[in-house]
Amino acid sequence: MKVVIQRVTEASVTINKIKVAAINQGLLILVGIVNEDTQEDINWLVRKVTNLRIFNDENGVMNQSLLDAKGDVIVVSQFTLHASTKKGNRPSYIKAAKPDVAIPLYENFVKTLQKNIDKQVQTGEFGADMKVALLNDGPVTIIIDSKNKE
């Protein structure tokens, strides 16, 4: 499982011209899932995401976690995170899990994250054509892959 974490001052998800999610200060988390992913990957990533010290403290130093900053969260599924670009110019998404595998894992990621923070986790819609808008704060963008824990 791979996530791209973006620290934002605001973010939103729009589907068919309807805004389905919107946050202020917090994290926009893009999630890509492969067939080999398990609840263990979810648990590890949720611990990392919630405790990663990427929010500024009173001295302007990135020393606070999502929990400390009491930030908002939007989670968006994004199979393109597992694109392979080794051959040719058309990305291959063969590594990305199909919906029958990915949807339950995505939903479990959201539920597990929800259990670990004091705010509602907002989401896009799995498989929808989403328009994601964000104002990246910093910019701070971090990529974490549960398969590269060491």
Active-site residue list: 78-80
Phi, psi of 95 (to 5 degrees): -75, -25
Cα separation, 66 vs 53, in Å, equals 7
- Considering just the CA atoms, what is the radius of gyration of the chain in Å? 15
CA distance 106 to 75: 9
How many Å is the maximal CA-CA distance in the chain?
48
How far apart CA 9 and CA 45 sit, in angstroms, is: 22
Contact 12, 123 (CB under 8 A): no
- CA-to-CA distance for 31 and 68, rounded, in angstroms? 23
